[in-house]
């Protein structure tokens, strides 16, 4: 049914277009496990299904602990201090 080809550290499954249509769910499960699927039509590659690169975990700014605001002098505007902190983070 499938032709497994070893390409470096990645296993590549070669399937015909018809097999891909019939077994798409199972093939996508293989892709989720890190395998690559090469779809062939009349023996020629037409598509390559590969796992999505893992996104870098990023903490949203509103979930990060806020730095302590230190006022430069009495009577300094809190909003001005917040804007200065934001500009410093960019």
Band (27; pLDDT cuts 50, 70, 90): very high
pLDDT, residue 46, reads 96
Per-residue pLDDT reduced to its tens digit, 29-43: 999 988 999 999 999
- Residue 24 lies in domain: 3-49
* Residue 58 domain-assigned (yes or no): no
pLDDT, residue 37, reads 94
pLDDT, residue 41, reads 95
- The two tokens of residue 86 are 């934001």
Single pTM value for the model: 0.54
Band (89; pLDDT cuts 50, 70, 90): low
Domain CATH for 35: 3.40.1620
Handedness of CA 67, 72, 78, 83 (dihedral sign): negative
* Residue 66 domain-assigned (yes or no): no
* Residue 41 domain-assigned (yes or no): yes
Give mean pLDDT, residues 61-74. Answer: 68
* Residue 72 domain-assigned (yes or no): no
Other Cβ atoms closer than 10 A to 9: 6
Count of domains forming the chain: 1
Per-residue pLDDT reduced to its tens digit, 46-62: 999 999 887 666 777 66
């Amino acid at each position: 049914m499938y032709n497994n080809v070893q390409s470096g550290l990645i296993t590549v499954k070669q399937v015909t277009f018809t097999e891909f249509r019939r077994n798409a769910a199972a093939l996508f499960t293989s892709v989720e496990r890190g395998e690559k699927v090469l779809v062939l039509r009349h023996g020629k590659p037409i598509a390559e299904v590969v796992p999505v690169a893992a996104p870098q975990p990023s903490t949203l700014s509103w979930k990060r602990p806020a730095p302590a605001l230190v006022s430069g002098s009495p009577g300094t505007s809190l909003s001005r201090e917040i804007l200065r902190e934001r500009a410093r983070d960019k």
